Homo-oligomer: A and B are copies of this chain.
Amino acid sequence: MYICKKINTMKDLKEILKRISENNASFLGYPLAKDFSYQEFAPFLDLCLNNVGDPESPSTLTIDTKAIERKCISFFANMLSTNMDEVWGYVTNGGTEGNLYGLYLARENFPNAIVYYSESTHYSVKKNLHLLNINSIVVRSQDNGEMDYDDLDQILMNRRDKPAIFFLNIGTTMTEAVDDLDKIKQIISKYAIKNYYIHCDAAFLGCVAPFADPKPKFDFSEGVDSISISAHKFIGGPIPSGMVFAKRQHRNRIANSISYVGTLDTTITGSRNGLTPLFIWSFIEKHGIDGIKMRVKKSQGIASYVERKLNEIGYNAWRNKDALTVVFNKPSEEICKKHQLASERSIAHIICVPGIEKEHVDVLINDLINESVLVY
């Protein structure tokens, strides 16, 4: 790898590059694809880029990549069973911003609503709700991480008078569980709730679930209102980023025109990253729909291999249907650290992102075998 002059003169940075390179090679526990290279975009690092304001609105300061951003949004909108007439979206700084945005639109739609989300939901959602000052109720989860629909039913039974915002997990952080939209819709019908909004947090699976068979119900063909996807997860990239999609009428409700930059202030941050749309677009150009499908298939194959191998050595591994996340008994701290496995209480997981190959898994399996030999 070429190490630049400046990094050479900055000892700290050289060490950071080395550490991050090594840790990139070794981690198994995080939903971050590793098989990318964006070094070729280096010329852009010398330029001011700014996708200020709404991606569909031209700015007077034309140092943006909004045309590419719109192409990315349009490509993924199609993957989410819709088109740009129906939905609007933008490239975010990550899944959290997309969820914040979806919840913001939901609150603007129903200011006195209650948000319902399962206890397996990503920790940032609680913070988002706090930021937005929205009331919420946590629904119990089933053992697999999916929402407990009986609990949701119980909760809604006494709250039929309030508008409802449903925050669904399309792949929970720990077990990649997918909340069942049909079951939630049944409860909505049962209590004749007319004022409701559905947001899907598809941070990791937004790019995976469209190719599962059968496809989980979570996209715009099912009538959801907004979806947040991370781009640095299954797509992969050096900078946290994502995409948020919402029905166009929700975005129009909050649109706010500003004379200064001559663009609409419809996004959370205003000044926005112009590089990440380029990365996402190059991913699309490189893989295309068929390539993404193959990528999903390959990762599912690796996950199946991991599950089998772990069970062979007695680690009680399991995964949700078609999941890339394999959950198993938490091994020693030493092994968790070496392979950077995320853990929660007594369980750990491996997430079979693109870039993780059987040989990486085999190293872990060997370490686990050696450790158990030492213990016995």
> Which positions in A face B, CB cutoff 8 Å?
1-7, 10, 12-13, 16-17, 19-21, 23-24, 27, 29-30, 32, 34, 36-50, 60-65, 67-68, 93-97, 100, 104, 123-124, 126-127, 131-133, 173-174, 230, 232, 236-240, 256, 258-261, 265, 268-275, 278, 281-282, 285, 336-337, 340, 342, 344-345
Contacts and interface: CB of A to CB of B under 8 A. Distances in A.
A112 to B, nearest CB: 12
A97 B27 CA distance: 30
Contacts of A174: 260
Given A7-B43, A63-B24, A240 B68 contact: no
Given A49-B20, A68-B12, A174-B260, A240 B96 contact: no
Contacts of A131: 104, 131-132, 268
B44 A42 contact: no
Contacts of A16: 65, 67-68, 278
Nearest to A41: B45
Oligomer copy total: 2
A348 to B, nearest CB: 11
A260 B120 CA distance: 11
A171 B27 CA distance: 45
A23 B342 contact: no
A32 B6 CA distance: 23
Contacts of A274: 20, 238-239
22 contacts: A4-B41, A4-B42, A6-B40, A6-B41, A7-B41, A10-B285, A13-B68, A13-B281, A16-B65, A16-B68, A16-B278, A23-B63, A39-B43, A49-B239, A60-B340, A62-B340, A93-B273, A104-B131, A124-B270, A132-B133, A230-B271, A238-B274
Given A47-B238, A133-B133, 12 more contacts: A4-B41, A7-B41, A17-B43, A20-B274, A23-B63, A24-B63, A29-B61, A32-B48, A46-B238, A48-B238, A50-B240, A240-B273
Contact of A20 (B37, B47, B239, B342): B47
Contacts of A278: 13, 16
Contacts of A127: 256, 265, 270
Contacts of A6: 40-41, 282
A61 B271 contact: no
B40 A7 contact: yes
A65 B238 CA distance: 12
A114 to B, nearest CB: 15
